[in-house]
Amino acid sequence: MDLSTVLAALPFYQQDKDGNPAITSIENDHRLIQEGSIFICIKGFTFDGHNAAEEAVQRGAVAIIAERQVNVSVPVIYVPDTKRAMAHVAAQFYGYPTESFHLIGITGTNGKTTTSHLIEQILRANGETTGLIGTMYMKIGDETIETKNTTPESLTLQKTFSKMKRAHVTSAVMEVSSHALQEGRTNGTAFNVAVFTNLTQDHLDFHKTMEEYRTAKGLLFARLGNVVHADKPAFAVLNADDTASTVYKSMTAAHVVTYGIDNKSDIKAENIRLTSEGTAFTIHYPGGTVDVQSKLAGRFNVYNMLAAFAAGFVSEVQPETIQKALENVAGIAGRFELVPNSQNKSVIVDYAHTPDSLVNVLQTVRPLTKGRVIVIAGCGGDRDKTKRPLMAQAACRYADEAIFTSDNPRGEDPKAILADMEAGVPNERYTVIEDRKEAIFKAIETAQPGDAVVIAGKGHETYQIIGKDVFHFDDRETAKEALLQKEGGQA
């Protein structure tokens, strides 16, 4: 593809020098430039790509897209906003790949990763070749690709979609974070179905107010299905029990399908039974009912399964196929994941890192536990500080014993993060153990048979970020180690 064809995706741009070189790749990281690349200069939070333009040219860049003046020998294309331009240019370069397969996007504070995995299984049960993009990884069929963000920036997205297209993916599912929507990472991506899980507090460092946060998530619905073709409809799948859905309904032109437990909805769960084996419930959908017996614990997972059912249903998967797929899911890594042991202790690793998810997981554990519930909770550094006291309150209120520890302190002093947590519970009893490994060992050592230990916050993560250092750390491994020590070698 030549430069002018790539640039056809951008209106009114200015090119400072003539030239129409052949383009081999588009990059926004100058370290990845090869001969024939276009380099897009992005001013980020820590690095300004404009400062690397010259080096990019030395490495083989044949054109630069920039917001401000750069002095290089190759054509420079000036645009007002390079991040915005990147989404259009990437979609053009990769040939608008999302138009080639069915794409389901999921937004919401909690439950995106869980629901996306449920949907992946539903699509597979329907015989589809699947793609998945989210917090844990990107997947094309069975191949997994590492990822840094829940929703990568537009260039990585379009490149991945293009790989999916080449791998003959027929249906894909992805988590769409509020950061991504606000920054336009999914501009150039065509969704057929958009799913909303729920809206509770998180990310107020980035969005500032809950209203702004809600609006950012709403962009997924607002950008969906303005022209709804009868043969290729678009659907907004909304949670009837969450008030934000009313706003999203008003924002979208797509067909709306609701799911829920309490309020009137198109897809509704009834007769819910929560047991130590999982959940059992009946789903009523337009035209019938199915009974589901799932290994996933907790009422919140009934919501995730309803959302997944609805997404499958509007994607024309048979209800019985959806039911079987849901029943076959044994669990999602790091989400209510049990660490097996012979000490009759329920050791649960869970990714709850918001006040609402912590309440949910503890409320789920409580009735399933004969003895005491011990929780280990911490809060990430360089992230929403206002959720810290609320998470501490959830821990003290819904567990019998709370241990506050470090999550990923990142650039903050771990003690300052813990102090923010403590400020939320001036009159409660809790223990502070800054070192996460020590905290896990202490909880498991203290736990008696019949007790539950909930290790919250890091779920599937296999690292801990302290300062700029990334150490190997896995709550599940550490819990196993602690259990082994307690047993004198036998977990």
Ligand X SMILES: Nc1ncnc2c1ncn2[C@@H]1O[C@H](COP(=O)(O)OP(=O)(O)OP(=O)(O)O)[C@@H](O)[C@H]1O
Task: Return binding residues.
Answer: 108-114, 149-151, 177, 185, 383, 407-410, 457, 461
Q: State which of residues 218, 260, 312, 457 lies at the interface with ligand API (CB under 6 A).
A: 457
Q: Which residues are annotated as a binding site for ATP?
A: 108-114
Binding residue (CB under 6 A) for ligand API from 109, 113, 150, 171: 150
Residues that bind ligand X (CB under 6 A): 108, 110-114, 135, 150, 175, 197-198, 300, 303-304, 335, 350-352, 356-357, 360-361, 459
Q: Is 268 in the site for ligand API (CB under 6 A)?
A: no
Q: Three-state secondary structure along the chain?
A: CEHHHHHCCCCCCEECCCCCCECCEEECCHHHCCCCEEEECCECCCCEHHHHHHHHHHCCCCEEEECCCCCCCCCEEECCCHHHHHHHHHHHHCCCHHHHCEEEEEECCCCHHHHHHHHHHHHHHCCCCEEEECCCCEEECCEEECCCCCCCCHHHHHHHHHHHHHCCCCEEEEECCHHHHHHCCCCCCCCCEEEECCCCCCCHHHHCCHHHHHHHHHHHHHCCCCCCECCECCEEEEECCCCHHHHHHHHCCCEEEEEECCCCCCEEEEEEEEECCEEEEEEEECCEEEEEEECCCCHHHHHHHHHHHHHHHHCCCCHHHHHHHHHHCCCECCECEECCCCCCCEEEEECCCCHHHHHHHHHHHHHHCCCCEEEEECCCCCCCCCHHHHHHHHHHHHCCEEEECCCCCECCCHHHHHHHHHCCCCCCCCEECCCHHHHHHHHHHHCCCCCEEEEECCCCCCEEEECCEEEECCHHHHHHHHHHHHCCCCC
Tell me the closest approach of the beta carbon of residue 136 to Mg ion, in angstroms.
Answer: 7
Residue among 225 and 381 whose Cβ is closer to ligand UAG: 381
149 lies in the site for ligand UAG, by CB under 6 A: yes
Residue 110 or 187: the one with the smaller Cβ distance to ligand X is 110
Please work out the total of residues on this chain that contact ligand API, with binding judged by CB under 6 A.
9
Q: Looking at residues 384 to 413 of the shown chain, list those that interact with ligand API (rule: CB under 6 A).
A: 407-408
Q: Which does 218 bind (CB under 5 to 8 A by kind): Mg ion, ligand X, ligand API, none?
A: none
Q: How far is the CB of 416 from ligand X (least distance, A)?
A: 22
Chain residue whose CB lies nearest ligand UAG: 44
Contact status: 353 vs ligand API (CB under 6 A)? yes
When the beta carbons of 66 and 439 are compared against ligand API, the nearer one is 439
Stretch that binds ligand UAG, among 23-31, 119-127, 349-357, 429-437 (CB under 6 A): 23-31
In the complex, the smallest distance separating the C-beta of residue 478 from ligand UAG, rounded to whole angstroms, is 23
Nearer to ligand X by Cβ, of 90 and 365: the residue is 365
Give whichever of 308 and 433 is closer to Mg ion, judged by the CB atom: 308
**Which option in ligand API, ligand X, ligand UAG, none does residue 380 bind, with CB closer than 5 to 8 A by kind?**
ligand API
- Binding site listing for meso-2,6-diaminopimelate: 383, 407-410, 457, 461
Q: Which residues bind ligand API (CB under 6 A)?
A: 150, 353, 380, 383, 407-408, 457-458, 461
